[in-house]
């Protein structure tokens, strides 16, 4: 009996030494897929309001359950299609069993914003332009008392100051920052000589201003008239 037990123990030892190291043990589970290998195809995405993008699980064939942290900002279908609803930030979660995988989603109102700085003089008009289709562009002024803008994008400088003109076309926005300046008044050049009437106390630009008698007016230099203390005629200057 003892000899039989010894033979069995020896046979078991020989078989265990001869068995390959990678041979599965009888009764153990062999899996080709692990949950730790699964992941989302994106960890963060940026969407424009109204646009969609599909998220997907990578490294697993198991079906995920999708959810959003804020339906007002981002919605998600059970096939992983994410849609931006309003400007903000939310998080999309894919759940497989007890494991959760998330993606941060940033929603923007516009895909691009173009700035342009302009200067206008009070009373002037300027046709503003964008690369968007004119019929689909909406125009708005932040202060119509400074710059008024028409539906076709023509800006009219009303008063001195600074305001912004917004042109919106779908997901694109153009912002024109406009500074309106008061018109520059250039003083009229002073004549070298002026006219003095026979009895008047002012100097004139012309010899027949008002009721002046041209035959009795005398011409003197401007500096001479000013030296004598004559003021300028308000009608001539």
Burial of 227 (0-12, 13-18, 19+ CB in 10 A): exposed
| Confidence grade of residue 212 (pLDDT, cut at 50, 70, 90) | confident
Residues counted in the chain = 237
The CB density around residue 204, as the number of other CB atoms within 10 Å, is: 24
With CA atoms as reference, report the closest residue to 158 among 169, 170, 144, 168: 144
**Do the Cβ atoms of 48 and 168 come closer than 8 Å?**
no
Residue percentage of the chain with pLDDT more than 70: 84
Q: Which residue has the tokens 């008061």?
A: 182
Q: Which residue has the tokens 């694109």?
A: 172
Q: What angle do CA 132, 144, 161 make, to 5 degrees?
A: 105
For residue 59, pLDDT beyond 50: yes
Measured distance CA(83)–CA(76) in Å, rounded: 6
Check residue 9 and give its pLDDT. Answer: 58
**Do the Cβ atoms of 178 and 162 come closer than 8 Å?**
yes
Q: How far is the CA of 201 from the CAs of 198, 219, 228, 233, 234, in angstroms? A: 9, 14, 10, 9, 12
For residue 54, pLDDT beyond 70: yes
Q: In this predicted model, what pLDDT tens digit does every residue of 144-186 receive, in sequence order?
A: 999 999 999 999 999 999 999 999 988 899 999 999 999 887 7
Q: What angle do CA 144, 149, 155 make, to 5 degrees?
A: 110
Measured distance CA(47)–CA(106) in Å, rounded: 6
Q: In this predicted model, what pLDDT tens digit does every residue of 218-236 receive, in sequence order?
A: 888 988 888 888 898 888 8
The secondary structure of 60-129 as a DSSP string is --SPPEEEES-TTTEEE-TT-EEEE-SSEEEEEEEEETTEEEEEEEEEES-SEEEEEEEEEETT-EEE--
CB-based burial, 87-123: b 16+ in 10 Å, e otherwise: ebebebbbeeeeeebebebebbebeeeeeeeeebeee
């Amino acid at each position: 009996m003892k000899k039989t037990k010894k033979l069995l123990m020896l046979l078991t030892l020989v078989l265990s030494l001869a068995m390959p190291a990678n041979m599965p043990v009888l009764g153990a589970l062999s899996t080709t897929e692990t949950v730790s290998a699964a992941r989302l195809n994106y960890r963060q995405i940026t969407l424009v309001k109204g646009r969609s993008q599909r998220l997907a699980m990578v490294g697993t064939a198991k079906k995920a359950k999708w959810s959003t942290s804020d339906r007002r900002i981002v919605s998600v279908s059970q096939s992983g299609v994410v849609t931006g609803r309003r400007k903000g930030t939310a998080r999309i979660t894919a759940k497989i069993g007890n494991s959760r995988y998330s993606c941060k989603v940033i929603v923007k109102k516009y895909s691009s914003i173009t700035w342009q700085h302009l200067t206008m003089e009070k009373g002037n008009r300027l046709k503003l332009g964008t690369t968007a289709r004119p019929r689909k562009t909406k125009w708005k002024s932040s202060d119509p008392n400074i710059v008024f803008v028409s539906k076709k994008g023509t800006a009219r400088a009303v008063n001195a100051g600074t305001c912004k003109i917004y042109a919106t076309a779908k997901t694109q926005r153009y912002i024109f920052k406009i500074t309106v300046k008061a018109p520059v008044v250039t003083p009229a050049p002073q004549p070298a000589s002026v006219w003095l009437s026979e009895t008047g106390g002012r100097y004139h630009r012309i010899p027949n201003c008002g009721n002046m008698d041209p035959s009795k007016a005398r011409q003197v230099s401007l500096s001479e008239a000013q030296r004598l203390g004559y003021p300028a005629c308000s009608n001539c200057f």
